Structure 1
Amino acid sequence: MNDFTMRLVHLHHCRGIGWNTIFQLLKADPELTSLYYLKMNDLNLPKTSAIEAYNDLHSKQIYDQIQQYLINGIQMITIFDDRYPQLLKETYQPPWVLYAKGDLAILNEKIHLAVVGTRQYTEYGENAIKYLFPKLIENNIVIVSGLATGIDTIAHEVAMMNKGKTIGVIAGGFHYIYPQANKRLAEEMMNNHLLLSEYPPNTKPQKWQFPMRNRIISGISKGTLVIQAKRKSGSLITANFAVQEGREVFALPGTIFSEHSKGTNELIQQGAKLVNSPEDIMEELIYFT
């Protein structure tokens, strides 16, 4: 890890420092060479936040903690790193730092497909994934999801069962995997696939982080497939991010009598591509890329 990466990652660990503060500091000092010489007022933060950020910036404990990450197999990829996903760079306010554990080569695969859906899925949704994935994986499409219960979990597991590659994007840090029920799945992915977070490993997951991580799920993917979703499902947030970034959106149609299909059916009404077969996805992601 070079000195600039260390400085940026350290800054990223400081309480009270958000995306815009880092942007302003980088604008004023692109190499962050004066970072450790900044006065509290230079941070342009409210007093309490400035005190916390300043103390963290001069904390040897945080510095030592960051050094320990590599020993624990956690890699830090900044937006200035060649390994940072190009598609994610093109999104609005991409993370300054990605924390990664697992096979980083999966990030460089050509085609990633985000697959999201409701936590309260039905057998129809599970069967659809089992039907669609083998052909997608045979064509080297990497499955990206959020490690949540329900459709996310099935997406990761079915991808692995078919000897495909999968990426999980989590809220919070690696030391606080949520939900706990997916801890074993997360460990398997960290060993053989890839887990990503925009939060330092010691960050406890908070409610607002879950919709925010959806922008990464869609941001590293050429398209987003919504399997099942209620009208106000969080999965629709991921689809909306995809639309805003000009990516493909696919939706599994469902019966008008199921709450779990109301969200996907509305997406189709709004212009998402109806998915009947894996070819419906591949012709958009493979044949015309």
Structure 2
Amino acid sequence: MNLVTKKLFLLSHCKSLNQRLLLEIIKKDPTLQFIDSEHIWPNIGLSNKQLHLIRNEYLTLSFNSLYNYYKQEKISFLPIFDANYPPLLKEIPDPPPFLYYKGNINILNTKLMISVVGTRYPTAYGRRALEFILKPLVYERWVIVSGMAKGIDTLAHKASINDGGKTVAVIAGGLNNVYPKENIELASELAANHLILSEHTPSTEPQKWHFPMRNRIISGLSLGTIIIQAKKRSGSLITANQALEQNREVFAIPGSIFDECSAGTNELIKSGAKLVQHPLDIIEEFVSL
């Protein structure tokens, strides 16, 4: 492991830094020299006092202690400059500078990645639509990406597993704080045979603002995002908007005009998202791959 990776690993643990600032530091000071010298300060809009605070916090951390603990917990990490870092994710405006993961990182070595998000409370129609749309995609070796939330996210992961495919979960908190708790068993299955990712250090407890942050990674990993049942105001629509901002495809499964859970997806279609009635509606968008 090179020295810059070790530095970035420790910086990712500094509570005086957030992901945006850490990314700015990497852009301005790729070798992170400012850690070694009080006379080299990257121009990222912080005062010298704030930069001193970051440096002092950094110096209190022990790489060996943290690294050995994560190794024991089977937690690995991936800096943005690593060859295995997903190229699609690197293209978004604000890629996570550091990812922690459990599982098989080689799952990311494919272009065929599609995100699936939706309501936490799917109807029988939503469940049936998910199975109908995802089964052929999994058969065609598409990796299913979602957020391991209750509802559509969980069903998407399980559908991929049950159909013999691969799936990636991007979670809001750290890897040692699985949310919701009812998905601890699913998380274990993903860590053993699939992949779980987080941009936060493993001990981080999930906070409300982590979820929209997490959504940009879900859409950023994928060529497109499928929305299955979403209300007019929902996290799924945040993911859809982020996918659009990242220049990715957005697919929406229509629903009844009388169903509140379909109001958001129907609105997306009206705004230009591709209406999906059959798996081929998605597959045909990527025939050149």
- TM category (shorter chain) comes to over 0.9
Provide the alpha-carbon RMSD of the alignment: 2.0
Query: Which residue in the other structure is 1:56 paired with?
Result: 57
**What TM-score results when the alignment is normalised by the length of structure 2?**
0.93
After superposition, what is the alpha-carbon deviation per residue over 1:62-103, rounded to whole angstroms, capped at 9, x for unaligned?
Answer: 652134323432121111011000001110110000111101
Q: Is residue 259 of structure 2 the alignment partner of residue 261 of structure 1?
A: no
Q: Is residue 197 of structure 2 the alignment partner of residue 196 of structure 1?
A: yes
Structure 1: how far apart are the matches of 2:183 and 2:23? 34
Secondary structure of 1:215's match?
A: helix
Q: Give the 3 Å change call, closer, same or farther, for CA 131–252 of structure 1 in structure 2.
A: same
Query: Which residue in the other structure is 2:80 paired with?
Result: 79
**Kept in 2: contact 1:224–1:239 (CA 8 A):** yes
Q: Is residue 115 of structure 2 the alignment partner of residue 114 of structure 1?
A: yes
| Segment of structure 1 superposing worse, 210-219 or 19-28 | 19-28
Query: Which residue in the other structure is 2:13 paired with?
Result: 13
Query: Which residue in the other structure is 2:238 paired with?
Result: 237
Q: Give the 3 Å change call, closer, same or farther, for CA 165–55 of structure 1 in structure 2.
A: same
Q: Give the 3 Å change call, closer, same or farther, for CA 57–246 of structure 1 in structure 2.
A: same
Secondary structure of 1:176's match?
A: coil
| Segment of structure 1 superposing worse, 50-59 or 230-239 | 50-59
**Kept in 1: contact 2:33–2:40 (CA 8 A):** no
Structure 1: how far apart are the matches of 2:3 and 2:41? 24
Give the share of equivalent positions with the same residue, in percent: 47
Gapped runs of 5+ residues in structure 1? none
Q: Give the 3 Å change call, closer, same or farther, for CA 219–27 of structure 1 in structure 2.
A: closer
**Kept in 1: contact 2:34–2:40 (CA 8 A):** no
| Segment of structure 1 superposing worse, 103-112 or 188-197 | 103-112
Query: Which residue in the other structure is 2:95 paired with?
Result: 94
Structure 1: how far apart are the matches of 2:165 and 2:137? 9
Secondary structure of 1:281's match?
A: helix
Q: Which amino acid aligns with 1:267?
A: L
Q: Report how many aligned residue pairs link the two structures.
A: 287
Q: Give the 3 Å change call, closer, same or farther, for CA 268–25 of structure 1 in structure 2.
A: closer
Structure 2: how far apart are the matches of 1:228 and 1:24? 36
| Segment of structure 1 superposing worse, 31-40 or 6-15 | 31-40
**Kept in 2: contact 1:15–1:52 (CA 8 A):** no
Report how far residue 206 of structure 1 moved.
0.6
Query: Which residue in the other structure is 1:178 paired with?
Result: 179
Secondary structure of 1:81's match?
A: coil
